Structure 1
Amino acid sequence: MTHTIWLVAALLALIAEFMSGTFYLLVLAVALAVAGVGSLAGASEAICWLLASLSGSIGVFGVARWRARQRRSNHTTRPADDPDIGQTVRISALLDDGLARVHYRGTEWQARLSGDGPWQAGMQAYIHSRDGNVLILSLKQTETR
């Protein structure tokens, strides 16, 4: 009977994960399923709780590391991966803290100015890289492949 409770809880956590899209609920569902399989194999309740705790902890640690690695790799797009690198933009306005508004692809974008200025509104610059949706500008054209 106990294995049924573990497996139903795992199924409910999996359904919640499908609705929310978070990997942490998937880890919870797997941890509950591991405990359910342990219970089905005849493990005591204490061992099932230990299995769920250990598998959940390992899963949370793995997801946290994976997310940190994803965040680092997506922080700045490499020129070979981004067709915008090297494209020309026109600076519409200079903002505070080294930021600017630029006109590119028919709309206004936020851009960070690299230290090779002097920068003025109306001048042309080149996209050196990106940080998310913020374009990093340079006065020198970046080579594209």
Structure 2
Amino acid sequence: MWHSGLFWWIGAGVLIVLELMHGTFYLLMVALGFIAAAIAHLAGLDLSLQLGIAAAVALAAVLLLRKSRFGRKTRNRAEAAHNPDVNLDIGSTLTVSAWHDGHARTNYRGASWDVELAPGEREDANLYEITALRGNCLVVVASRHAGARA
């Protein structure tokens, strides 16, 4: 099988299937190394050169992937808590009737929620805008429309 170069093609196929099940791009980069080695075999290069090419291409591809936006984690949990693309409630408004040291309980979307006032915000607005979700707690600021209603 080493002499026919079939090993490289089968290996690349297996790595691509594993990649589809795993969900990262790293196995795909190693599969690129296998494909490069298969091409080197077709070019008539020796097995040791094929192995070297497979390793070099896979390593280069993995390093390039790590430097790309696909290889980096661009958002952490703290950013997700404030991201309206992740939490569709961010930007919604709700009313809070009574505060107790910056914390309250209110009905929102048919359920009772814990609400926390963001630092520096006033407790007399009555209408608040959700800026973040921290677990099952809504973090709110006084709504811009609260002044018009007060």
Q: What is the root-mean-square deviation in Å for CA atoms of aligned residues?
A: 4.2
Give the counterpart of 2:12 among 4, 10, 13. Answer: 10
Q: Which has the higher contact order (CA 8 A, sep 6+)?
A: 1
Tell me by how many angstroms 1:71 deviates.
Answer: 3.0
**TM-score normalised over the length of structure 2:** 0.59
Structure (1 or 2) with the larger CA radius of gyration? 2
Give the counterpart of 1:66 among 57, 66, 69. Answer: 69
Tell me by how many angstroms 1:13 deviates.
Answer: 1.0
Q: Give the corresponding residue for 1:89.
A: 94
Contiguous gaps of at least 5 residues in structure 1:
none
Residues 65-124 of structure 1, C-alpha deviation per residue, up to 9 Å, x if partnerless? 32326437x755379x98644311357xx9xxx9988754345678775322466xxx65
Q: Give the corresponding residue for 2:131.
A: 128
Give the counterpart of 2:47 among 45, 48, 56. Answer: 45
Aligned length: 134
Residues 19-41 of structure 1, C-alpha deviation per residue, up to 9 Å, x if partnerless? 22232121122221111111121
Asked if the contact 1:88/1:126 (under 8 Å) is kept, the reply is yes
Q: Distance in 2 between matches of 1:50 and 1:127?
A: 55
Q: Distance in 2 between matches of 1:19 and 1:33?
A: 20
Secondary structure of the 1:126 match is: strand
Give the counterpart of 2:83 among 48, 59, 77. Answer: 77
Contiguous gaps of at least 5 residues in structure 2:
146-150
Secondary structure of the 1:57 match is: helix
